[in-house]
Copies of this chain bind each other. A is one copy, B any other.
Amino acid sequence: MAEQDKKTRILNAAMKIFACKGYQYTTIAEIAKEAGVSKGLVHVCFENKLDILLDVILFFIDTVNDLINQKLARCTNPVEKLHAVFAALMELMSQSSRNLYWGHILKEVLPDTEKIKDENLKKKYALIIGGARQLQLTLDELIADGQRQGLIESSLKPQIIRQIIGGSSQMLYQGLILESHGRRVMGYTEEDVRDGIVTLIDKFVIK
């Protein structure tokens, strides 16, 4: 209970600071301070810094996959599903209002992952890779389904379409966040982003 509570607080603190400063520039001391606990406790709850990151990413992926499955259950049409899934993702990014792209972060941290020897961490890493893979497969299958039903255009592979829509979403949100941090002027709003993605998806829909 208390432990879970602290673990969650550390996780939230880590999520926040990783998002602001990037994994590598974040120190355990900062996470501890932000979470209002001691450095030592961080190492009681987590094996090491990488372990924290893996948990953050895992939490994020789980949230995303849950959200998506939930949305998928409510639609039948692949096109509706696609819209629903990306709407959900945008909502999540908006909610979290954090510059946390686990995609980016995983990439930033890849050199570190090669050092993973600990079995627990290996498992977590495998879960993450599996979760990410699952997300991809779900989307690809969705698009392929639409293509088979003649609802989505077939000139491009599902993977390409998935990457286009996904990449656009990420970049558009990243722009918003950069703007909110005052580091850039992008000249568009969250409203524009949502419209953009809806429009983009519809481009691949056969009317």
Contacts and interface: CB of A to CB of B under 8 A. Distances in A.
A156 B161 CA distance: 19
A112 interface: yes
B156 A167 contact: no
Chain A binding site: helix, strand, loop or mixed by DSSP?
helix
Nearest to A167: B171
A188 B188 CA distance: 32
B22 A164 contact: no
Contacts of A111: 20-22, 25
A204 B202 CA distance: 12
Interface residues of A, number: 41
Contact of A192 (B108, B157, B169, B171): B157
A163 B171 contact: yes
A114 to B, nearest CB: 9
Q: List 10 A-B pairs, minimum CB-CB distance, nearest first.
A: A167-B171, A203-B203, A24-B24, A160-B196, A164-B168, A25-B111, A21-B111, A167-B167, A167-B168, A159-B187
Interface of A: 20-22, 24-25, 104, 107-108, 110-112, 140, 155-157, 159-161, 163-164, 166-172, 174-175, 183, 186-188, 192-193, 195-196, 199-200, 203-204
